[in-house]
Structures are given as structure tokens and as C-alpha cells.
Amino acid sequence: MDGTARPGTDAGLSINVDGPCRVVIADDNAVIRMGVRSLLAGADDIEVVGEAGDGRAAIEQVRLHHPDVLLLDVRMPRQDGVSTVNEVAADTAVIMLTYSDAPEVINAAVRGGARSYLVHGQFSADELIGAVRMARRGMGTFSPQAVAQLASVGRPAHGELIERHGLSEREVEVMELIAKGAPNADIAGALFISQKTVKNHVNRIFAKLGVTRRGEAIALWLDGSR
């Protein structure tokens, strides 16, 4: 997987990196839950503290165990993963872990607060473990297919969005590179500015767009409707 790590500063979600990373796995397929648990067992610093077979149970597990990370499927009975994200994203870092790569699903999950989006079959055990560790530290990871599908929604004309949110010409350049998955170091190199300057631009862009995560900014930029 050639996923992209994206720093995040989720409002209201404190980042605790002391002790093992506590994880809840939510998927309606018990075999998949068992497989994910087995993959994570290779990391001494990750502890699976709960499992859920549907969205409502996932919410209950988050409230009960207060995990650092929730691995969440999209299609589940009683309550689907996308609607579940909206209820738990303020309390835990959510990684969508699913077979669904539909653009509208990815977009909705990211807007709802998912920090990462991983598609089954596009990551190794080490990459999953890395994504969990990064999510705990406020960073996101997207499978290549997830990034491609977000982009496939189309590149709308950004004139109205830019005017509505008051983005400067430089901020537009930075946002275009963010939407392509470029980390701050690459943006700095492409625009011949320092990483500190990039960080300042990113913070201003987030403030103007009313978002707190790179994934949210990308979804908004690609959609162009708000």
C-alpha cells in the first residue's frame, strides 16, 4: 500500500500515547474480526479491547472501553459504519476498514470524521499496524484506491468555494497539493517555501474551511459544494 500519512488536529479528541494503543474492531463478519485481531497481535504496543458486530454495538464498545482507535466496517446491520462515524469521531480515532471503495462512501466517511480509510486487500499486516499507530498520534492513512476514488468524484470548478472561504492564491496552490496527497515536505519543495510556512498555510486553510483534518479538507475540496 502506498498510503499517505496526513497530520490531523482533531478538536475535542485528546491524543494519548502512553501505554498500549487500545483498539476496538467493528465488523459484522466474525471471521474478518478474527483475522484483523490476528494481524494486530504481531504488535506488542497494540491491545484489542473489544469487538462489535454492528454500528450500535461499536458505539457501545467505544463508550465502554474508551479506545484510542476504532477499526470500523462500512456495511453492517442495525447501524452502518458511515453513520456510526458521526457519533464516535469526537471520542476515538476512526479507521474505516472495509471492502467498499465507492467514492460517495469514502467521501461521507471522511466528512463524518474518519481519520483513515483502508480497503481490504490493499494493505499488509505491517501497514495496518502502522496505520493504527499513526491514527493514535493524529495522522491518517488512505489506501491508494481510496485516494483514487475520491479524485474520481471529479475536479469541480473551485471559484465559488475559493471566494466563499476567502482563500488566497498561495492557499489555493497548497490546497491543490494537499488534495493530491502531498505531505508538507513535498508541498514545501514544490512551492519553494519552508515546511514551517507550509504548516502556517495549512492551519489558515483549515480555519477558513472550518475543518480540523486533512481528510475533511480533501473531501470538501473535491466535492466543491460548500
pLDDT digits (tens, 9 = 90+) for 178-223: 877 778 888 888 888 999 999 999 999 999 988 888 877 877 776 6
Hey, where are the domains in the chain? 6-150, 155-223
Neighbours of 126 (CB within 10 A): 12
Which 3 state secondary structure label does DSSP give 155? coil
* Interval 62-73 mean pLDDT: 96
Given strand 46-52, what is the order of strands in its sheet? 46-52, 21-26, 69-72, 93-98, 116-119
Residue 154, pLDDT > 60, answer no
Residue 162: per-residue pLDDT: 82
Residue 1: per-residue pLDDT: 54
Indicate the pLDDT class of residue 33, thresholds 50, 70 and 90: very high
Does domain 6-150 correspond to CATH entry 3.40.50.2300? yes
Show the cell assigned to 18. 502512553
What is 155-223's CATH number, 3.30.2310.20, 1.10.286.10, 2.30.110.10, 1.10.10.10? 1.10.10.10
